[in-house]
Amino acid sequence: MQLQTVVVHSVRRVVIGTIAVALVALAIQLSANAADNQNTSWYQVVSFRFKPGKTTEALQIIHEHFHKVEKAIGRKVMPFDYTTGEWDHVVYFPLDTAKMDTIPSQTEFMKALADQEGGKEQAQKVFESFFELVVAWKSEIAQLPAAWAP
């Protein structure tokens, strides 16, 4: 039994270490690419698939709670409500590749959400309500080529 526990912990360390190295390498590469081309825009792209029959409720939370905060902090997100395909909602957040955080930061978003909802606990409840409706999600990083920049 103890050997099995040691093996599981060792495998976890290897996996976590590999992910950490990959994230650092990605951050270095993105920073280098951004420095090479200042006209390139980077985005964190988050895609959501909602539980069957829960799309309307999830989108209502997004539009009535999260969108108001995005406007309040001045973050220029690009949200898409899909009518076909694998995902129900996809949003593009401007990304600061040097800090590997959105512009404005996720911390600023959470503070503004707490202010809007009447405290951290209420903001957490909104997030929990939203994620109870999510069956799958993923986060990726995308680049808008300089030639396509507005």
| pTM flag (> 0.75) | no
Range of the domain at 13: 1-36
Provide the number of structural domains found in the chain. Answer: 2
Return the pLDDT at 30.
54
Contact between 89 and 58 (Cβ < 8 Å): yes
Q: Do 65 and 10 reside in the same domain of the chain?
A: no
**Residue 4 scores a pLDDT above 80:** no
Domain shared by 51 and 111, yes or no = yes
- 48 and 114 share one domain: yes
Q: If 0-12 CB within 10 Å is exposed, 13-18 middle and 19+ buried, where does residue 53 land? A: exposed
Do 65 and 80 sit in the same domain of this protein? yes
Tokens of 126: 């909104």
pLDDT category of residue 6 using cuts at 50, 70 and 90: very low
